[in-house]
Structure 1
């Protein structure tokens, strides 16, 4: 099949993250299976307009907002080829590709952005964004197949009017963790992993550290990742009096990331919303349990409360859960072992196989419907 994936970022983009890793792993897997795959995304400084990576083609045009118009133009003109199927990744809003092509479109939604619009944008833009996501997009794609990465997001999509029979769940996979030489730290160590942007709420982890440092001698916090919100986080650490126990490590390569995870006692995931929580599984590979918010979408699925980690309802609950695991090594280790066993069940091979089968079904169904329509017209 000729497959075009539309996603506004790739992993080389300064704001690329877990959702981009998901799409790129799917692209590479589909290419390895013999499909002709094009990945379209926004341009950014230093990145070529066109390149090949892992067997698929990357095309970059436009910026954060103009990438959508470029995608429509290039689809309509045939500049992205004549795809058999399009995967339209809806990061808040989709690419509206359904308006430019006749081939089937599959919509990938990592999570519903209801809570995030107001965190990132002012009230007018937030209202417009939520209207586009919750009202217009379901109408435009009312005949399209949807894919999401958790049952929780599937339920949210259904509440927006997407028929439950049109939503498949294809979980994130995870690559085997590289071998590490790190040993678990001798003193309490909390880590936070991800892009440094407002809706990740790394401030909550810093507040937890401020509340617990007096009762947990030697406590340190590792913040792994970078982003435009980092200066504000550094100011918050200073204001809370935890800048001396907080290590802002910035962007690190895969090996360094896993070395740091292996040193940690627990990971905190205080995001407003996550589609799944790939970082939860990465930490679990090192028997590190994660504590997150119950209301944060897919985190309540990637973390099995009381089995592989803990879920909290608010900052007080997050603090109490962290204190509990830092104090009770037996419980913490039991959660870590269960988390590692569960993490081993999620593989990228499985993810790609699910996508391959779904896209084949989608293309076959569209071809069958087109043939039936032509037969009706001729008879």
Structure 2
């Protein structure tokens, strides 16, 4: 290693997954885009995450070093070992519900990155008993262990929820998501009403609610269809829900698709749905907006109330019945759909990963006491 490179401040980002992991999603994209931006600003960045079959144990991508070690649970122990071994100048501990407990072994500042608070997800994924334990660790143990640490999150809503757990807002910085420039597409808006959902198929994404929308509106909209883009271990349950409602001819479960196909599907859709119980931000909402497609989501689902400007770039619903009403309203009003879509397109153009990396670098420079590079 050259002396110049060795003198750069080193960042170790410990995270459960990376974007190439079968369960990787929007939060992993944020982590990696910011990591790439930090490299361009003079930092040495290592991402420590779980091993999987889609990528090698050790890899360099866009200047970022990836170390993939451990499985679903042992990844935490391997991450703590990496903190001890690599001796970084700062650790970024990504808490997707569970912390990595890096504070116990780090001999350097720790920045805690929380995309969203997981109160509702614990029960949905682990059931009432284990879910209660998980929430206790997230809501009680983690704030105590990381007291005094700087926090970063992606929305004001999560910042407020962290404050409710005892994390002072003065210690929390909001760093917005950026947006990858959408590729050119060939698709035109479909002549028939088409809904789309983009995301991992896991229980708390509640894709079934989107299927229910189709079931409820099929009489009023005989040609209504739903395109579901994404994969995950909850796919069999979603497929069974579609079968039970006899909607196989109206709902297409695409599974994993590449980026180009994802954007082609978004571009031909009328309305994007995000029925998740909680999102830190909702990258898919802004991706849809970049194609002039408005979104409908739940008002109580965290950061979506910021990625959607209600009544200007999309609509927010109070509950499942209201979700159906808001989708029906958009399907029936082409002028409203178009105006929301165009406003969303203009807003999407303001999000850039370079802005995210700048904001994150400012936090790190304050924490390690060095000038930004």
TM-score (norm 2): 0.96
Dislocated runs of 4+, deviation >3 Å: none
- Structure 2 counterpart of 1:352: 357
Give the corresponding residue for 2:6.
none
Q: Is the 8 A contact 2:175 2:359 kept in 1?
A: yes
Query: Separation in 2 of the partners of 1:345 and 1:270?
Result: 25
Map of 1:11 onto structure 2: 19
Unaligned runs of 5+ residues in structure 1 are: 366-379
C-alpha displacement at 1:46, in angstroms? 4.4
Residue in 2 that maps onto 1:303? 308
* Counterpart in the other structure of 1:226: 231
Looking at structure 2, the residues matched to 226 and 271 of structure 1 have their Cα atoms a distance apart, in angstroms, of: 15
- 2:101 maps to 96
Check conservation: 2:21, 2:54, Cα contact below 8 A: no
SS in 2 for 1:218: coil
Please name the residue that 1:140 is paired with. Answer: 145
| Bigger Cα displacement from structure 2, 121-130 vs 179-188 | 121-130
Alignment of 1:200-215 (within 5 A): 200-215=205-220
Matched, 1:74 2:82: yes
2:113 is equivalent to residue 105 of structure 1: no
The Cα shift of 1:93 comes to 1.1
- Distance in 1 (alpha carbons) for counterparts of 2:297 and 2:195: 13
Residue of structure 1 aligned with 2:61, choices 24, 40, 53: 53
Partner of 1:316: 321
Q: Kindly tell me the number of residue pairs found equivalent between the two proteins.
A: 363
Return the offset for 1:344: 1.0
SS in 2 for 1:168: strand
Equivalence for 1:370: none
1:166 is aligned, of 161, 171, 182, to 171
The superposition leaves residues 320-366 of structure 1 with CA deviations (integer Å, 9 ceiling, x where unpaired) of 0000000100011111011111111111010011111110111008x
Q: Which residue of 1 aligns with 2:190?
A: 185
TM-score, with length taken from structure 1: 0.94
- How far the C-alpha of 1:49 sits from its partner, in A, is 1.3
Query: Contact (CA 8 Å) 1:187, 1:217: kept in 2 or not?
Result: no
Distance 1:314 1:163 in 2: 31
Contact 1:111 1:274 in 2 (8 A): yes
Paired residue secondary structure (1:139): helix
Correspondence for 2:128: 123
Report the aligned-residue RMSD: 1.1
Change (3 A) 1:34 1:276: same
Question: Which residue does 1:269 correspond to in 2?
Answer: 274
The answer to which of 6-15 and 45-54 deviates more is 45-54
Contact map agreement 2:22 2:54 (CA 8 A) in 1: no
Determine if contact 1:6/1:41 at 8 Å carries over to the other structure.
Answer: yes
